[in-house]
């Protein structure tokens, strides 16, 4: 098994990345909330404390698979992936997740602070300190050049692909996949499925999400977004 511990803020494409990696590569097991929540800080000192992080997750992963993941993590023998979406698109997605009826300027600073805090911690503690064991995946790259991204990750994590790469973004695509891996094919277990829809490719490519922001909202984002993170992920400021 090749274990990949996943991190990303809510609504930053973590479910999509899990689907892509487990469907396209042999023996890939993406640890979403095993070893701690995928949405929280990288805290390796808590990896072995199963009782601590198992309180927050429900999983059908076999005990021996979880034990092996813990053991490998303690020997620095797992990989890490940080999923990220540009701050403007992320605020759009996150506000829909929060079911905000109307976005205002007042939402911008607290939202962008969430984006700043998590991504900065993952950059400093994982991407910079563990360059050979970690990488990041930008949602924008996945919808622009998905095969190139998968090839890059395949080389980075030394994985073997199962078949010709399959990307799951299309206008009407809907896929059933096993929410919690147990070492079998993602389509191999009945009655343990979760529907996911991956659409709106052009919505993001054309940056239509920017339409929800007025000038004051954009300025508030730009005044509070961390330039270190923007530079690291090679994101540009929208005006």
pLDDT tens profile 33-51: 888 889 999 988 877 776 6
CATH of the domain at 190: 3.40.50
What mean pLDDT is predicted for residues 66-88?
92
Give residue for tokens 């919808």.
Answer: 143
- Number of separate domains in the chain: 1
Look at residue 237 and tell me if it is in a domain. Answer: no
Number of neighbouring beta carbons within 10 Å of residue 43: 15
What mean pLDDT is predicted for residues 102-112?
95
Structural domain boundaries enclosing 74: 2-232
The reported pLDDT for the residue numbered 181 is 42
Question: Could you tell me the end-to-end alpha-carbon distance of the chain, in angstroms, rounded to an integer?
Answer: 45
Burial (0-12, 13-18, 19+ Cβ within 10 Å), 216: exposed
Cβ atoms of residues 107 and 88 within 8 Å? no
Q: Model's pTM, two decimal places?
A: 0.84
The reported pLDDT for the residue numbered 194 is 43
CA distance 1 to 100: 41
What confidence category does residue 16 fall into, taking pLDDT thresholds of 50, 70 and 90? confident
Q: Which of 142, 46, 49, 125 is nearest to 80 (CA)?
A: 125
What confidence category does residue 116 fall into, taking pLDDT thresholds of 50, 70 and 90? very high
């Amino acid at each position: 098994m090749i274990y990949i511990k996943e991190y990303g803020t809510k609504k930053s494409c973590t479910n999509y990345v899990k689907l892509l990696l487990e469907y396209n590569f042999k023996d890939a097991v993406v640890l979403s909330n095993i070893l701690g929540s995928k949405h929280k800080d990288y805290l390796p000192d808590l990896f072995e404390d199963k009782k601590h992080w198992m309180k927050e997750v429900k999983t059908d992963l076999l005990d021996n698979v979880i034990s092996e993941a813990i053991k490998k993590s303690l020997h620095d023998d797992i990989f890490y992936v940080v999923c990220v979406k540009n701050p403007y698109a992320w605020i759009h997605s996150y506000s829909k997740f929060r079911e905000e009826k109307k976005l205002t300027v007042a939402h911008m600073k607290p939202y962008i602070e969430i984006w700043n805090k998590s991504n900065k911690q993952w950059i400093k503690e994982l991407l910079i300190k563990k360059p050979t064991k970690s990488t990041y995946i930008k949602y924008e790259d996945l919808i622009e050049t998905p095969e190139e991204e998968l090839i890059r990750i395949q080389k980075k994590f030394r994985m073997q692909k199962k078949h010709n790469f399959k990307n799951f973004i299309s206008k009407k695509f809907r896929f059933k996949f096993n929410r919690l891996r147990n070492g079998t094919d993602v389509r191999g277990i009945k009655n343990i499925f979760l529907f996911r829809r991956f659409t709106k490719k052009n919505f993001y490519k054309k940056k239509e999400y920017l339409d929800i922001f007025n000038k004051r909202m954009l300025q508030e984002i730009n005044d509070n977004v961390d330039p270190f993170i923007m530079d690291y992920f090679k994101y540009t400021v929208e005006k």
